[in-house]
Amino acid sequence: MTENNIPTVYNPKEVESKWYRHWEESKYFYAKVEKDKTPFCIVMPPPNVTGQLHMGHALDNTLQDILTRWRRMQGYNALWIPGTDHAGIATQAKVEEQLAKECQSKYDLGREKFLERVWAWKEQYGNRITTQLRHLGASCDWDRERFTMDEGCSKAVLEVFVKLFEQGLIYRDYYITNWCPHCQTTISDIEVEHQDKPGQLYYIKYPAKETPEEYIIIATTRPETMLGDVAVAVNPEDDRYLHLVGKSLVLPIVGRELPVIADAYCDPTFGTGAVKMTPAHDPNDFEIGRRHGLPEVIVIDKYGKMNEHAGKYQGLDRFECRKQIVRDLEAMGYLVKVEDISHAVGHCYRCNTAIEPALSKQWFVKMKPLAEPAIQAAKDGRIKFIPERFTKIYLNWMENIRDWCISRQLWWGHRIPVYYCQDCEEMVASITPITKCSKCGGKVEQDNDVLDTWFSSALWPFSTLGWPEKTEELEHFYPTSVLVTGRDIIFFWVARMIFSGLRFMEEEPFKEVFIHGLVLDSLGRKMSKSLGNGVDPLDIIESHGADSLRFMLITGNTPGNDLRFHFERLDGARNFANKLWNASRFVMMNLGDYDPTSQGGQYTLADRWILSRLQGTAKDVTDFLERYELGEAARVLYEFIWSEFCDWYIELAKPRLFGKTTPEDRVTAQHVLVQVLRQVLEMLHPFMPFITEEIWQKLPHQGETIMLAQWPKADENLLDDTAEAEMAVLIEVITAVRRIRGEMNVPPSRKAEALLVAAEESFRGILERNAAYIQGSANAEAKILSELPVKPDQSATAVTRGVEIFVPLKGLIDLDKEIARLNKELKTIQGDLARVQGKLNNQGFLAKAPAEVIEKEKAKEQELSVKADALKDRLSMLS
């Protein structure tokens, strides 16, 4: 082998596109059912078909890819199923935007033609995010890619709906839901983004009917909803209002009589302790209203405008109505005061319109019977959350779960398979389309609504494997091994998959749930379009390469915790890739005469040490991966490759490679270099798949691809505690001598003398046997002593484990010149330190400066103090 085998500079663009194309064309990602192998299966959380890759996707899919590549190398029958979600609201909105540019609406086309248009859009644009995932290196089985509205998934959805309907677990009723006046549909809780907004709290008098001079003050942020008030509720133990319970108040402006009711929901310590009841426009009021049999008056229509029940305000936008009502209340003497507040207001994730809690007739899933087995599965440990703390969060939500609204007022999606007879009002759910009533033979019409997108994704772990058909994939790979997902969708997706799997497969859908946090910006804020702080993963891949992005996302990442994105860390990951590339290039430059079958000499201490450390690294990396501590696994690899292999072993092996010892010693060094480099590449491959494949292919190896290489296992025969302990002593000594040379400005070409004093014979033996390492690595002639009666004049000192080090400086440097330089540097630092301390002693500065500025000055003070002390120590040595 020659230097030409590996270019001088690593080019991620060329390498990454080349290898991914090769992997996919070679079907290395394809996982056929092999019953003699242990299955390992992950289903990808399906990104929206409208979406494009963001940092959350990048993290989520990198974690899944690491686990899949690792298990595949371990010999598992590894399957990672990719797919996309039809994203009902978002996709329909995209197509409606196109139609609007053509001066058309969906109603101009009609339902059938509109759906044809949406399918055409999906075919044209729907593969964007899956293409982007390929740039990231995702080793999915693309031959098994699924879509939540493909034929198989659609069949599963119909099967589940009809079964739940027939079992009485799906029903239709009036209830409060999240309504988007712009998208014209109900939306799920996860599709509501709560934004902190400035607002007002309005205090309004509600006078008693019989004694108008007496009144209850109500505090509300939404005065426009008072037009739908039907009662006022107080706590049954609130002495202030007990005499009014059972009596009536008069609704200001409207004049409607409102009964005063007692309900424990009301908190006497919150606000005024009294709550106005608007059951048609508030979920809590709705629940209280049902308990007390209150009427439900709708005053805001589906477009966010006041309806006929709003009286003179009919036709006004809800927010304009608010302003007008406040003006009228003030004029009539009912407005007590207005407070400025900041409060969370729900907005539609798609269009950013303020959500309106609205009463309407919708389809629901009865959750209590489904939740109970899902709760038990977590309590029994059949499903484990990682980190474990998320079990409590999951259980708390499941134990307080409410019925799930599954209907959406859209055309794009799984249409609800319920048919209504136009003659006898018979209602039937059917998997297959029906045209006439089975009861009276009359004409039937299908429900116009579609199902919540989460209904189909709740079936994902088994619908993607072929259910309701009994496929060999379903038999072999279900339950799946682990679900990897963000902490923000535990309730809305993870929980629903669990109860769906238990209900229809009679077994949990996955054994473990690996929860990761969010990728935040460098200031700890969530990335968003509104803040303009998002980072496009494709831009990073273009500038730094996919491997660098992946490694940056993993290092420092701990399960369940959020991760801050720093470009400095990204640069660090790229530097690591370059370090690995340059070290590999050096190794290959010295393999021109390498013969894998040749016999070398005996292992040196450095050989035994690096091989032992390699085994320890293999064990630690595997153990961390087993515990889903992927960040720790990456850290161990980073430290071994950067420090122990590149900075130490390669340097220690150079004399043998350069012919300064016997030919057998060169062969031994080559063998060790190849073995260590190949195995660290194999361990690093799941994290950085592209660069590792490129280098591995150029090394002596067996097999077609590193993807299918055997995962390195620790060889206990190569573990050598003695070698590791002895090498630790040498590394500390060499590092100390190097540090002295650097601090004292000893020219690299000047050989120093190092007096190494070790009282213990064992330490002296280590130093004597390996003095050549010290000379070669620190350019210092080592003299090993048991004691040193007198400290040499003008010498720098250091102390390591069991060894005291003296480096005489006379003759190595110009002492007078060095003392002058150090004094000058000390004077500059002392001046800077005095200025910083002056600021920190200035009460005016401390009172006015932001906290982060003060913290920076304190850190600067500490840094300057440490530097000043170090300079004083050096001057003391030279005096």
Question: What three-state secondary structure class fits 295?
Answer: coil
Tokens representing 243 are: 């005499």
Chain segment 385-399, per-residue pLDDT in tens: 999 999 999 999 999
Question: What is the reported pLDDT for 21?
Answer: 96
Asked if residue 792 belongs to a domain, the reply is yes
Exposed / middle / buried, residue 101 (Cβ in 10 Å: 0-12, 13-18, 19+): exposed
Rounded CA separation 45/133 (Å)? 13
Alpha-carbon dihedral 680, 684, 686, 692, rounded to 10 degrees: -90
694 with 838, same domain?
Answer: no
- Domain's final residue, options 684, 719, 754: 719
Percent of the chain scored above 90 by pLDDT? 75
Asked if residue 432 belongs to a domain, the reply is no
The domain spanning residue 686 has which CATH number? 1.10.730.10
303 with 195, same domain?
Answer: yes
Rounded CA separation 197/113 (Å)? 41
DSSP sequence for 139-178: ---GGG-EETTSHHHHHHHHHHHHHHHHTT-EEEEEEEEE
692 with 755, same domain?
Answer: no
646 with 740, same domain?
Answer: no
Among candidates 555, 558, 516, which has minimal Cα distance to 60?
A: 516
- Strands laid side by side in the 404-405 sheet: 185-187, 170-180, 356-365, 404-405
Chain segment 497-506, per-residue pLDDT in tens: 999 999 999 9
pTM for the full predicted model? 0.87
pLDDT band, residue 104 (cuts 50/70/90): very high
DSSP sequence for 405-454: E-EES-SSS-B--EEEETTT--EEE-SS---B-TTT--BEEE-S-EE-HH
Question: What is the reported pLDDT for 73?
Answer: 98
740 with 712, same domain?
Answer: no
pLDDT band, residue 173 (cuts 50/70/90): very high
Chain segment 273-315, per-residue pLDDT in tens: 999 999 999 989 999 999 999 999 999 999 999 999 999 999 9
Chain segment 795-826, per-residue pLDDT in tens: 888 889 889 988 988 888 777 777 888 888 88
Tokens representing 230 are: 């039907």
Question: What is the reported pLDDT for 813?
Answer: 77
Among candidates 162, 182, 168, which has minimal Cα distance to 414?
A: 162
Question: What three-state secondary structure class fits 533?
Answer: coil
Asked if residue 222 belongs to a domain, the reply is yes
Rounded CA separation 746/164 (Å)? 81
The domain spanning residue 332 has which CATH number? 3.90.740.10
Q: How far, CA to CA in Å, does 572 sit from each of 552, 553, 569, 746, 759?
A: 8, 12, 5, 29, 42
pLDDT band, residue 579 (cuts 50/70/90): very high
Exposed / middle / buried, residue 515 (Cβ in 10 Å: 0-12, 13-18, 19+): buried
Rounded CA separation 657/652 (Å)? 10
Residues ≥6 apart with Cβ < 8 Å to 316:
305, 306, 310, 324
Q: Is pLDDT above 50 for 91?
A: yes
Decide: 68 and 711 in contact? Cβ < 8 Å: no
Percent of the chain scored above 70 by pLDDT? 99
Residues ≥6 apart with Cβ < 8 Å to 26:
704, 705
Asked if residue 509 belongs to a domain, the reply is no
561 with 703, same domain?
Answer: yes
pLDDT band, residue 4 (cuts 50/70/90): very low
Residues ≥6 apart with Cβ < 8 Å to 9:
none
Exposed / middle / buried, residue 732 (Cβ in 10 Å: 0-12, 13-18, 19+): middle
pLDDT band, residue 60 (cuts 50/70/90): very high
255 with 347, same domain?
Answer: yes
**Which domain covers residue 863, as residue numbers?**
816-878
Amino acid in position 657: L
Decide: 294 and 300 in contact? Cβ < 8 Å: no
529: annotated binding-site residue? yes
Q: How far, CA to CA in Å, does 463 sit from each of 360, 407, 414, 506, 617?
A: 31, 20, 14, 14, 40
Rounded CA separation 49/52 (Å)? 8
- Domain's final residue, options 337, 357, 377: 357
Opening angle at CA 311, ends 307 and 313, nearest 5: 70
Question: What three-state secondary structure class fits 600?
Answer: coil
What is the dihedral sign for C-alpha 427, 431, 433, 435?
Answer: negative
Q: Where is mean pLDDT largest: 434-438, 456-460, 849-853, 869-873?
A: 456-460
657 with 734, same domain?
Answer: no
pLDDT band, residue 192 (cuts 50/70/90): confident
Chain segment 534-578, per-residue pLDDT in tens: 899 999 999 999 999 999 999 988 888 988 988 999 999 999 999
Q: For the chain, give the mean pLDDT.
A: 92
Asked if residue 772 belongs to a domain, the reply is yes
Rounded CA separation 678/190 (Å)? 46
Polymer length of the chain: 879
Residues ≥6 apart with Cβ < 8 Å to 442:
421, 422, 423, 424, 436
pLDDT band, residue 180 (cuts 50/70/90): very high
Buried b or exposed e, range 657-694, using 16+ CB within 10 angstroms: beeebeeebbbbbbbbbbbbbbbbbbbbbbbbbbbbbb
Among candidates 279, 275, 307, which has minimal Cα distance to 295?
A: 279
Cα Rg for the chain, rounded, in angstroms?
Answer: 36
Chain segment 196-229, per-residue pLDDT in tens: 889 999 999 999 999 989 999 999 999 999 999 9
Looking at per-residue pLDDT, the higher value among 877 and 624 belongs to: 624
Backbone φ and ψ of 321, nearest 5°: -60, -40
Tokens representing 794 are: 């003008």
752 with 843, same domain?
Answer: no
Rounded CA separation 633/635 (Å)? 5
- Domain's final residue, options 687, 719, 751: 719
693 with 549, same domain?
Answer: yes
Decide: 752 and 791 in contact? Cβ < 8 Å: no
Question: What is the reported pLDDT for 866?
Answer: 85
797 with 825, same domain?
Answer: no
Query: H/E/C letters for each residue in 181-215?
Result: CCCCEEECHHHEEEEEEEEEEEEEEEEECCCCCCE
744 with 849, same domain?
Answer: no
Backbone φ and ψ of 528, nearest 5°: -155, 160
Q: Maximum CA pair distance of the chain? A: 114
Q: Is pLDDT above 50 for 1?
A: no
Residue with tokens 């998934």: 153
Question: What is the reported pLDDT for 3?
Answer: 43
Asked if residue 158 belongs to a domain, the reply is no
Interaxial angle between packed helices 128-136 and 546-554, expressed in degrees from 0 to 180 and rounded to the nearest 10 = 80
Question: What is the reported pLDDT for 188?
Answer: 78
Q: How many CB atoms lie within 10 A of CB 214?
A: 14
Chain segment 741-761, per-residue pLDDT in tens: 988 888 988 999 999 999 999
Count of structural domains within the chain: 4
Asked if residue 70 belongs to a domain, the reply is no
Mean pLDDT for 417-421 is 94
Chain segment 481-517, per-residue pLDDT in tens: 999 998 888 888 999 999 999 999 999 999 999 999 8
Question: What is the reported pLDDT for 2?
Answer: 39
Asked if residue 384 belongs to a domain, the reply is no
Tokens representing 478 are: 């279900």
